[in-house]
A and B are shown apart, each in its own frame.
Chain A
Amino acid sequence: MIYIFLGLLALLTFGATASDNIQIGGSVGNVLRNAPHVITVYTTVMTIFGLLMAAAFYNNAALRDFNNEFNEILFSTPLKKSSYFFGRFFGALLLSTLPLIGVFLGTVIGSLVAPLFGWIDADRFGNFYIETFTNNYFLFILPNMFIAGSIIFALANIWKSTVISFVGALAIIIGYIISGNLISDIDNETLGALSDTFGIRAYSIYSKYYTPIEKNTLNPSFSGLLLLNRLIWISVGGMILLASYLNFSFQEKNKRVKKQEKSIKKSSEKFILPALEIGFDRSSVWLQFKSFFMMNFLSIVKNVTFKILFLFSAILLITGLIGGFEYYGLQSYPLTYKLIDDIDGNATLFVIIILVFFSGELIWRDRNSKIHEVIDATPHISLISLAAKTLSLISLTILLQLFFILCGVLYQLVNGYFRIELEVYFLDFFYANFLTYAIWSGVMITIQVLVNNKYIGYFVSIAVIFIWSIVLEIFDISSYMLTIASGPSTLYSDMNAFGPGLYGAMMFNLYWILFSILCLLIAGALWNRGIRNSLKTRTIIARKQVPRNYRPLIFGTGFVWILVTIFVYYNTQILNPYKTNDEYEQMAADYEKQYKKYQNVPLPKIIDAKYSIDLFPYKRNVDLKAIFKIVNETQIQIDSVHFNVDKDWSPAFDIPNAKVVFEDKKMGYLILGFDKPMLPGDTIEMTITSQYITKGFKNGRGSTGIINNGTFLNNFELLPSLGYDERKELSEKNTRKKYDLKPKIRMPKLEINCEGNCLRNYLTMGTSDYINFETTISTSSDQIAIAPGSLTKYWEEKGRNYYQYKVDHPSQHFMSFISAKYEVAKRKWEGIDIEIYYDAKHHVNIEMMLDAVERSLAYYTENFGPYMHKHCRIIEFPRYATFAQAFPGTMPYSEALGFVVNLEDETENNVIDAVIAHEMAHQWWAHQIVGAHMQGATMLSESFSEYSALMTMKSISKSPMKMREFLKYDHNRYLRGRGGEIEAEQPLYKVENQSYIHYGKGAIILYALQDYIGEKKVNRAMREFLEEYKYRPPPYPTSLDFMKYLEEEVPDSLHYLITDWFNEITLYDNRMKSAVYAPLENGKFEVTLEIESHKIRADSLGNETKIDIYDWIDIGVFTDEDEEQLLYQKRILIDKEKMSFSFEVDSLPMRAAIDPRMLLIDRIYEDNIKDIKMVEL
């Protein structure tokens, strides 16, 4: 057994190491496939599997002598209790760690074999470190097996039941998951780390800011949080072991002797054998079915294991709920869909485990109770009994779900939330879970019947659930038709209900339900009655024994199933073909290889656009006509235009004197040639008509852009894009290598006074500049349709609503087209119409959102310049995506964001303000100026917007500490993000559209800068930069252009900040070494702080070097533990690594901090703060 486990784990890790299709451990980009970090992640993950194996070993060690009834013989020999007990325990401990050595074997063999066979390049593998193996063994494998073992061994010794032992193992895993629920907020991650039995999360927090280099070189070590966690849990394990040793005895515990109740009353009833009517017709079959069902169902419900599992899932759900729905320190309202998400997230796996376990229990129940010969010899049809078993499994899931729903509803009520949508709970259960459970029930019952051995049956069931999907992945199969019980997502949205995937999901469910019934029918024929026979014998018996009407039943069901299969196949493979991952990669590679040559072909530019769009939301169709004025702005003549055509759309082009000269239907590349070339300065009008028709259903949810309520499309999605599209190329360097492509240059190099790249911005990529556009958009009569621009006309025609929009000022050709049933809230601010389009259910926060828009308008117009549109719209869209986006004057905002967050107790600024303020800021940063397509471009839009948002929040912030709450998330975002960098980390001014840099780091640095040099100065630099480049035709500005304005504002004494923060990657390692105070005679307090400070420079991979420090850094003192009252703050010059400062304060100090407001990037911020201790002078 041990070698099987060893082999299994070795195989799994071998696969993960040597195959690109299996991804665990995060080995991407620059992280090596056998990096110590990756091996550590494998090890920690595998110890969870190891636990189940350990359960088997320990259980066996504790129970072997009892099960073989050898105990009475053995224990009467002169054997010492301690040597018996500990001998068994440590024997099992050693055994249980052995399979996990397979993880090491797997990685080592994988690393040797994969390059040899050319599966993966040799340069993706690095050296092995002996510490990786020893430290992992002694930090994770041995302690985890010890801890888990002590618990399981104790349970086994007390209860002497294999089931209880495995339930114990499961309990440990649950404990691990529950402690994970605690970690959801970064504030209590330490608690989460320490409460984790396996040390997995302790390690993940320990390593959360690891850079690629660190992942490749650092081994987990016996220090910090990780060591503490290990010590805590080893002691816990030790105590359990000791307790169970003391409790252990060779003597049999007094068995409970049941007192026989003496039945006093002797019955005086008369008994007569009635004349019986025995019949076997339909009604008696139904009666048999009912009776079987009740017997099975009750047996599960009364089963102890079931009760324990039920309790576990309830605990899991409830702890999940207690955590609430955290969103950047705020709580979301307990919407029904949130609860559904929680129930699904916590319960589904459990229900599947319950199904696996009880499918075996039910099938083997008669045999285990030794009543099978009697039952088997009664005149019932096997199918009736199997169907009853299946139904009792299904009923079980209903029972569980009803309980979960009850928990959900109670949770809503307790939280004072009364929009309880019972129908949503039940429909979601039906669509998303119930059918899945029903399918699994049938399949698992069938597996148990066919395999004909309970434990092998369990193994096969688990393999089918978990390993099958990996197999499909390896063979690059993504059809739901081969993944049991799967289908498109029916994620519920308040706006769009169960969404576009519902029809497909139902068809796939039908397909799988029929499959499951077919399985059951076959199982019913092959069900083993009487003595156990081989499958072959049973097939022979089945031919003889199966009733005559059974055959048509099987063939009938099979026939219907085949019809459905054909229908599903037709819809998902022929009507709506799709690409698998590998096919998609292949196509992207081919596209690049074939058409890269056209990248620099001169193209005309769009200088004016008129759209006419008809949305049919309920049919999910779109009719579109776009009239573009295009001009040749180049110096040479243009003889053709190139387009990329999306398969889902069918565009037709009407360009005067032009016709199709090349068409690649497969890759959607189209070239139209002019009869007469466009000369420089020539303008022509081109018309594109296009259609999107929804046909049948897809092997997936289908478009979430074109839906019943909440259609949201942008112009790039609607229309074929112009010219070779660089964005279609593969980006990850290892994937590119696989297709013989050189690493992709993510962004053109930053250059000053550039030629080509400065002529296009990163948004429209040279297809247009600031242009005028207008839209006529129509939708169904119950919906409002919105496009960027002021509404110039509205009318109704043929039961449809028509709207005409026109931009007030030439803008980026970046447009959103939206349609849904909306409520509209309006407010006027200095001549600007503020409008919020929202779903009627989400009305609570609208006033606050209007306030937020107003506040940002006020701050930005004052500090940066005028707002250029007459309207300012926020528009809700369904939660298929969770972002907000800024189009000219128009900002779609996901249903999942601010609309559903509970702001009742929020008096100050909050993250909802932040998101609105960020998108509002884009109306300046991105729409009035936009960066040239090169490094540093997104600093000018995203970092600026993030900074602007922080400043609007600061403008109403009452305490200086409040802003640290927000900055904390930015720090985390940046530090975690750089750990996941797959190419190279860039300094801020060269950011290559890396979100952790332009959001996280950009926000921190600009915010810190205004703190160091003053808000006015930073804003002035930004305003003057804006004024210079606002709406200016190409060349577009670069980050270097901005730096010129900024440098003017920075005093010489702080000029190092430009270098450190913008031009280089700089980190600080600040520590408060000691903090003491002494009360003074005059009632004041003298505080003395000893500080250690290092400045670190990192390269693009995370290699660090210390550099000399000569920096101004704040020190401060708090009067409270919550660090809200900053009593004293001073910015001091640190020019040595270790320094000491003394100063007087008026009130009693509580805590001291270096950089108390978290302005500097420091990987470990916690050691910046210390409680101040009193000393006598």
Chain B
Amino acid sequence: MHKLIIKDLSKTYDNGVKALEKISIEIENGLFGLLGPNGAGKSSLMRTLATLQEADSGSAKLNDIDIFQQPHELRKVLGYLPQEFGVYPRISAEQLLTHLAILKGIAKASERKEVVKYLLNKVNLYDQRKKNVKGFSGGMKQRIGIAQTLLGNPKLIIVDEPTAGLDPGERNRFYNLLADVGEEVIVILSTHIVDDIRELCTKMAIMNEGCIVYHGSPDEAMSTLQGKVYQKIVSRENLDTYAEQYQIISNKMVGGKPLIHVYSDTNPQNDFEQVKPNLEDVFFSKINTSHQLV
């Protein structure tokens, strides 16, 4: 069982933006979902864990590797897929993965060949392995990125919004792949797609403005809202009035009319209907603390 312990991690950028503020979590084997709106600090946290960025204070340890003191040791057991992943022009998927396999310490040529083949097949690129990667579509590139993350038996896998640009089929393939390896190692997955977390993760955290605003399992999160979420289809003109009167969690359009979810300890009456809270409600209730309309 691997264990990642993050303590009091803080980072402020030169322009004054607080990217991380006293982050402390413990993560064990399995898929760990990191949920948060854009700019919440997810990527900063992941880059910091991937040794690509220094923190101002705090510590992070994977088992007995201190990430900040022994970055080189951590890199030996790391699989990392950044938010933005590109490829070199004029080389093939196979060449690129082979190069990365070497960098990740797979010294035997035969093993390298096998593992590259295996992963290419896993991400459904085996038939295009000899092709120039530059001509690949965004989704295909992303799949190479996914394949390289799994190279070389990593103990800590960090994937930053990995499913962006994938079609639903590929997305499922990828999640199956992650679920396969997730039993043995720590997988940290960031996304802003709430469904992904619900489907995959046993543990999750929600980040907002550099802080962890929730940490636990998705089910727990939903159960805390049990019986406290109500919804109603309203007319567009009255939206503002509702916003003033109720603690709005979210509003979205359904069939051309706004559907609002509100948080309330008691039944707000007025034609509101109680719903079973979903993860989205959790997410919005955690980050939309001032109950704004969007």
Interface set of A (CB-CB < 8 Å, partner B): 258, 263, 265-267, 269, 271-274, 276-280, 283-284, 287-288, 291-292, 295, 298-299, 302, 365, 369-371, 373-381, 529-531, 533, 537, 541, 544-545, 547
Contacts and interface: CB of A to CB of B under 8 A. Distances in A.
Interface in B45-72: 47, 50-54, 68-69, 71-72
B172 interface: no
Interface residues of B, number: 51
13 contacts: A273-B114, A284-B102, A287-B107, A295-B99, A370-B86, A374-B82, A374-B100, A374-B145, A377-B80, A379-B76, A529-B52, A531-B53, A547-B72
Interface of B: 47, 50-54, 68-69, 71-73, 75-76, 78, 80-82, 84-91, 98-100, 102-108, 110-111, 114-115, 117-118, 121-122, 126-128, 135, 145, 148, 152-153
Nearest to B137: A260
Nearest to B103: A378
Nearest to A262: B127
A299 B88 contact: yes
Shortest 5 CB-CB contacts between residues of A and residues of B: A530-B52, A370-B86, A373-B82, A379-B75, A378-B103
Given A277-B111, A299-B89, A373-B82, 13 more contacts: A267-B127, A271-B122, A271-B126, A274-B111, A278-B76, A278-B106, A284-B105, A287-B107, A291-B99, A291-B102, A295-B88, A299-B91, A530-B53
Contact of A371 (B69, B88, B114): B88
A369 B114 contact: no
Contacts of B111: 274, 276-277
A274 B47 contact: no
A288 B82 CA distance: 22
B82 A280 contact: no
Contact of B76 (A280, A283, A369, A544): A280
A377 B52 contact: yes
B103 A291 contact: yes
Contacts of A277: 106-108, 111
B114 A274 contact: yes
A365 B71 CA distance: 23
A911 to B, nearest CB: 54
Contacts of B80: 373-374, 377
Contacts of A544: 68-69
Nearest to B150: A273
B107 A284 contact: yes
A302 B82 CA distance: 27
Nearest to A546: B72
| Majority SS at the chain A contact face | loop
Given A267-B126, A369-B89, A529-B51, A378 B114 contact: no
A380 B84 CA distance: 21
A641 to B, nearest CB: 77
A541 B55 CA distance: 11
Contact of A295 (B51, B91, B126): B91
A265 B126 CA distance: 11
Contacts of A529: 51-52
A537 B11 CA distance: 14
B92 to A, nearest CB: 12
Nearest to A533: B54
A378 B88 contact: no
Contacts of A302: 90
Contact of B47 (A265, A266, A530): A530
A276 B84 CA distance: 28
A302 B89 CA distance: 10
A287 B102 contact: yes
A645 to B, nearest CB: 64
B202 to A, nearest CB: 24
B103 A371 contact: no
A269 B121 CA distance: 10
Contact of B115 (A263, A273, A376): A273
Contacts of A258: 135
Given A279-B107, A287-B102, A537-B54, A378 B75 contact: yes
A373 B159 CA distance: 12
Contacts of B89: 299, 369
Given A271-B118, A531-B47, A278 B105 contact: yes
A379 B91 contact: no
Contacts of A530: 47, 50-53
B265 to A, nearest CB: 44
B86 A371 contact: yes
Given A369-B89, A371-B88, A541-B54, A379 B103 contact: yes
- Of residues B51, B88, B145, which shows the largest number of chain A Cβ atoms within 10 Å of its Cβ? B88
Given A258-B135, A371-B88, A531-B52, A276 B153 contact: yes
A545 B75 contact: no
A545 B72 contact: yes
A299 B99 CA distance: 13
Nearest to B84: A370
A263 B104 CA distance: 31
A374 B115 contact: no
A272 B114 contact: yes
A370 B96 CA distance: 14
A271 B121 contact: yes
Given A272-B118, A274-B118, A373-B82, A263 B100 contact: no
Contacts of A283: 107
Contact of B102 (A288, A533, A547): A288
A288 B88 contact: no
Contact of A369 (B52, B88, B108, B153): B88
Contacts of B47: 373, 530-531
Contact of A373 (B52, B54, B87, B115): B52
Contacts of A371: 85-88
Contact of A378 (B104, B115, B126): B104
A284 B126 CA distance: 26
A280 B77 CA distance: 12
A817 B152 CA distance: 74
B215 to A, nearest CB: 25
A288 B90 CA distance: 20
B152 A276 contact: yes
Contacts of B84: 370, 373
A284 B103 CA distance: 8
A529 B103 CA distance: 15
B144 to A, nearest CB: 10
Contacts of B127: 263, 265-267
Contact of B104 (A267, A278, A537): A278
B118 A379 contact: no
Contacts of A365: 88
Contacts of A295: 88, 91, 99
A270 to B, nearest CB: 9
A255 to B, nearest CB: 13
Nearest to A284: B107
A531 B44 CA distance: 10
A267 B126 CA distance: 8
Given A266-B127, A271-B118, A379 B88 contact: no
Contacts of A375: 100, 103
Given A291-B103, A299-B88, A263 B76 contact: no
Nearest to A302: B90
- Of residues A278, A292, A530, which shows the largest number of chain B Cβ atoms within 10 Å of its Cβ? A278
B148 A374 contact: yes
B50 A273 contact: no
Contacts of A370: 84-86
B65 to A, nearest CB: 12
Contact of A269 (B82, B87, B117): B117
A541 B54 CA distance: 8
Nearest to B51: A377
A511 to B, nearest CB: 33
Nearest to B107: A284
A271 B119 CA distance: 9
Contacts of B76: 278, 280, 379
Contacts of B90: 298-299, 302
A302 B91 CA distance: 10
